[in-house]
Amino acid sequence: MFDALPTAFIFFAAAAILLALPKGNMRGLLLLATPILSAIMAWNAGLGNFAQIGFFGFELELMRLDGLSRIFTLVFCLAAFLGNLYAWHVRDTTQQLAALLYAGSAIGAAQAGDMITLFFYWEGTAIASVFLIWARGTEAAYFTGMRYLIIQVGSGVILIAGVAVFYRETGSILFETMTLGSLGTWLIFISFGMKCAFPLMHNWLQDSYPAATVTGTVILSAFTTKLAVYALARGFQGTEILIYIGTVMTLFPIFFAEIENDLRRVLAYSLNNQLGFMVVGIGIGTEMAMNGMASHAFAHILYKALLFMSVGAVLFRTGTSKASELGGLYRTMPLTAIFCLVGAASISAFPLFSGFVTKSLTLTAVAEEHRQIIWLCLVFASAGVLSHSGIKIPFFAFFAHDSGMRPKEAPRHMLLAMGITSFLCIAIGVYPAPLYAILPFEVVDAHPYTMGHVAGQLQLLLFALLAFAFLYRKGIHPPEIRAVNIDTDWTYRKAGPAVLYWLRWAVGSCYCWIVGLLEKTTTRTIRRLYNSHGPEGRMARNWPTGAMVMAIAVLLGATLLVNFLA
């Protein structure tokens, strides 16, 4: 009975129980126990469709577990555990509830067998997650949260519109592989793309994640975008356009991340970059590519959380995450520095770290499809990752120069969360077999530690390191300065309001001119009528009787003449 209980319901029940508990360690234990219990129950439930209910004539599947949804369920539960352990010190009820409801909604969406259920959970992630931004308590966080909510809820509105059109076109609401070619599928595709931070729709990510609380950013990094990756994998596997969208996603964040000063924004751009590898895998659509997508999503959630944890610990102790204000922190935060280096090595795909054994599956799948240009772009993007995340994050935070700060080491629970995550990043890199065993498809001929692969990757990484060292020593590398970088969000945050202000001024000026002209014309007309027909006007004068008779005679004569001529 309990094995078939939708995993999301366990999180929702825990949220209700949390309200009944006093603030303190009991709540912390509940936050840790919930994802552990959920993962165990989801694993023991096996594969299949569970918890089907009727809803206004529709058959909803609340819990569908197969190879794809199971791995995302497990990694979401793992991310929830690590995020809550990292946030052990938080006593804010709002953040604790948001963390439970957010994780539960993401897991529910990953297990949804139909698109109506998906929609409810889709919107649940949007509403729950925004409180992790508002919990920062600043005016800037409030407005950032509003922008984030507009994008996320807007994505849900487009999704339900697409589902309605798709149902009218096909008569089905099942969440299965679709083909682009109708209005309904395009709307669903755009909705997924908004949440996945496709190019030109990506700035909500860099805007919102760095604005959240120290712990909220760690939790945010795990769910929203990876849920979108799952949705794309479920609904649009093998869609050609995703290959090119994903390739662009891997490339453009590199340049923004290189010039960004805020390290949490650097990681947000890096997140965009890593999502691109997953989207490319979905576009390729082969079993190897889908395994690469799923394994890379699993590893990415861990090492990205680890990097956000380490930068968050620095922010927690120093009050800033700006590279221009940091440096030399390895002296008093050595463990945090070590864990940051593990995350950097993992995201850079160094051998013996998780990124090496997961990213190789995607690159192999691309090579097997003989897409040379795409493969070269992904290799270039891999080198860029090393530069902006593998080197820039730990170097400028801990080693670049002495900022003079001597903060204490991160709290023990943060160190424990970072230690467990670091262990998993290394364990997956050293022994990937357990991860390969839970991938959606059977892994065949996956041998990441071949001499050619190891040597090629090391060459790429070493040349990227040399390039960074050369640019930095020569002063060519973009300096870390306090500045605002302009991205595509400038179009709706600055240019859009400026255009609307100009249009308002232009329309208002035209309206005022027209009203003024009408007023002047009306006033002039009234004045003339008054002058001619007013009490003292020409028409009000006394006329002699003879003149009046003469005028009437003239009018009668004119009338007779007209009748005669007619």
SS3 64: strand
This prediction's pTM: 0.86
* pLDDT tens, residue by residue, 80-113: 999 999 999 999 999 999 999 999 999 999 999 9
pLDDT band with cut points at 50, 70 and 90 for residue 279: very high
**Is it the case that residue 3 has pLDDT exceeding 60?**
no
* pLDDT tens, residue by residue, 554-563: 888 888 877 7
What is the C-alpha to C-alpha distance for residues 253 and 460, in angstroms, rounded to an integer? 19
The tokens describing 91, both together, are 């006593």
* pLDDT tens, residue by residue, 40-76: 999 988 888 888 888 888 888 899 999 999 999 999 9
| Region 433-451 average pLDDT | 84
pLDDT at 184: 92
Please report where in the chains the tokens 């090595």 appear, as a residue. Answer: 345
**Strand boundaries in 48-159, DSSP class E:** 48-55, 58-65
DSSP 478: P
Q: Of the spans 139-148, 378-387, 465-474, 475-484, which averages the highest pLDDT?
A: 139-148
> Which of 165-174, 246-255, 443-452 comes out lowest in average pLDDT?
443-452
pLDDT at 475: 73
Mean pLDDT of the chain: 88
**Is it the case that residue 156 has pLDDT exceeding 90?**
yes
Torsion (CA) 279, 43, 439, 242 in degrees, nearest 10: -10
pLDDT at 134: 94
> Which of 11-15, 287-291, 384-388 comes out lowest in average pLDDT?
384-388
pLDDT band with cut points at 50, 70 and 90 for residue 168: very high
pLDDT band with cut points at 50, 70 and 90 for residue 374: very high
**Of 182, 190, 130, 131, residue with least CA distance to 160:** 190
Q: Where are the alpha helices (DSSP H) in 236-262?
A: 241-259
pLDDT at 188: 95
**Of 15, 71, 13, 83, residue with least CA distance to 42:** 71
Q: Are 31 and 99 in contact (CB under 8 A)?
A: yes
pLDDT at 301: 94
Other Cβ atoms closer than 10 A to 338: 16
Q: Give the pairing type, strands 58-65 and 48-55.
A: antiparallel
Please report where in the chains the tokens 């003079």 appear, as a residue. Answer: 404
Q: Which helix (H) or strand (E) holds 265?
A: helix 263-284
Q: What percent of the chain has pLDDT over 90?
A: 54
**Is it the case that residue 2 has pLDDT exceeding 50?**
no
User: For the packed helices 214-235 and 115-134, what is the interaxial angle rounded to 10 degrees?
Assistant: 160
The tokens describing 126, both together, are 């949007």
In Å, how far are 6, 229, 242, 433 from 440, measured between CA atoms? 20, 14, 20, 14
**Of 248, 229, 215, residue with least CA distance to 298:** 229
**Is it the case that residue 523 has pLDDT exceeding 90?**
no
